[in-house]
Amino acid sequence: MANEKSFMKALKCRECGHEYPLTATHVCEFDFGPLEVVYDYEAIRGSLTRASIESRPQTMWRYRELLPVAGEPTVGTQVGFTPLVKADRLAKRLGIRELWIKNDAVNYPTLSFKDRVVSVALSRAVELGFTTVACASTGNLANSVAANAASAGLKAYVFIPADLEQGKVVNSLVYGANVIGIKGHYDEVNRLCAEIAGKYGWAFVNVNMRPYYAEGSKSLGFEVQEQLGWRIPQHTVIPMASGSLLTKIHKSYQEFSKLGLVPNTKWKVHGAQATGCNPISAAQKAGLDFFKPVKPNTIAKSLAIGTPADGFYSLRVMKDTGGHCDDVTDDEIREGIRLLADCEGIFAETAGGVTVGVAKKLIASGKIPAEDSAVLCITGNGLKTLDAVANHVGQTREIRPSLREFEGLLEAEGAACKA
């Protein structure tokens, strides 16, 4: 790898194409459109090959040329390269020829895909000279910023709604982050956090560091292609909150294809949402290219964004690739979690239940043909959302320390067996 070489060219407005220097900035001064990192693909072509990638450590940083850091990463160097599991039992249950699970439920260090975006944002923040980092979050992002900042010796501020469950707060407090609870409605908290981000000279990972932060999601797509044996999956089902993950996985397929690392085959990306917060899904199903904001009411809290920042762009990607979108109820989410756990031994958070539930619908309706192959993206660990399924997974059966009682229990269930 060309160690201290940057392959980034500029930040570019996704709306008007205006270019900006590679600083901590995120919106275009002309039309307030979001900025995105652009790369020097010709230079990357000379540095990044299948052989060079395979020679590197198994982390997300093996694709460093396509990630927005100027030098070697300094934060989250062990993140990524999570398992891609061939899910034969689940494939049979869902009625599809071939199914794979990209399991970011075991991502390091905080068990969600957010470690990817945060390690990129913080590595870039260090390069730009920041010593304090911040985020506004209701869960996974807060945990990841707190943990990764601690490991890098950065000061962290984490803003959360004041009524957030104690369990989620502990997962950030334990790393020594400054956790600030803000009282008020989501909209008010949202506006205040944007204001704080604008006022203080911190690296706010999902505000002024957003162009870099969002690029981290591409690593999930790079890994999928390599782990599949250097090919793009026919279908990818992706949970959507802001919609950013979907657009970045699509971008990862475009980039590998453009660089000749994978054959240029057709792919479809499909979006998954909860029915209780489905602005993108509702728009896609209605054939609209814009979404209408909704008030979230779902157990899938990690997807509960009623006004998704990348909603418009994710709708466009699904349209361009011929992908579809659907949504599932809270009961279907729980069923999806259980199905994945029961068939593959993977315990996903509620967003994973959404992905499995929507995949089931898309396969049943033929939108993902039964003879095709699909990848489902599981983005977080079920241990983080125990409350959502606690009363829906059966109960323990208690007995006294007596073999007779145990055998009586088995007999009562019609499952008696002799050793």
Partner 1 sequence: MPAKAKKKAAKAAKSAAPKEERTRLWLMYPPKQITQPIIWQIAQKFKVVTNVRQASVTGEIGIVCLELSGLRPEVKAAIKWLVSLGISVEPVEINVVES
Query: Applying CB under 8 A, which residues contact partner 1?
Result: 15, 26-27, 30-33, 135-141, 159, 161, 186-187, 189-191, 193-195, 197, 206-207, 210, 241-242, 288, 290, 292-293, 301-305, 307-309, 351
Pick between residue 186 and residue 230 the one whose CB is nearest to partner 1: 186
CB of 381 to partner 1, least distance (A): 13
Pick between residue 31 and residue 72 the one whose CB is nearest to partner 1: 31
Alpha helices per DSSP H over 322-383: 330-344, 350-364
**Segment holding 274, helix H or strand E:** strand 268-274
User: And the tokens for 221?
Assistant: 């797509």
By DSSP bridging, strand 35-39 and strand 8-13 are antiparallel
CB of 225 to partner 1, least distance (A): 26
CB of 287 to partner 1, least distance (A): 12
Pick between residue 152 and residue 304 the one whose CB is nearest to partner 1: 304
Pick between residue 194 and residue 410 the one whose CB is nearest to partner 1: 194
User: And the tokens for 88?
Assistant: 């034969």
CB of 252 to partner 1, least distance (A): 20
CB of 189 to partner 1, least distance (A): 6
Closest CA to 237 of 125, 159, 325: 325
CB of 402 to partner 1, least distance (A): 47
Pick between residue 74 and residue 138 the one whose CB is nearest to partner 1: 138
* Calpha distance 343→347 (Å, rounded): 10
Determine contact, residues 93/339, Cβ cutoff 8 Å.
yes
- Please count the other Cβ atoms lying within 10 Å of the Cβ belonging to residue 102: 26
Pick between residue 225 and residue 242 the one whose CB is nearest to partner 1: 242
* Calpha distance 29→27 (Å, rounded): 6
* Calpha distance 181→166 (Å, rounded): 11
What are the two backbone dihedrals, phi and then psi, of residue 245, each rounded to the nearest 5 degrees?
-55, -40
Q: What letters, b where the CB count within 10 A reaches 16 and e where it falls short, cover 38-77?
A: bbeeeebeeebeeeebeeeeebbbbbbbbbbbeeebebbb
CB of 291 to partner 1, least distance (A): 8
Pick between residue 182 and residue 228 the one whose CB is nearest to partner 1: 182
CB of 192 to partner 1, least distance (A): 9
- Please count the other Cβ atoms lying within 10 Å of the Cβ belonging to residue 160: 21
Pick between residue 194 and residue 383 the one whose CB is nearest to partner 1: 194
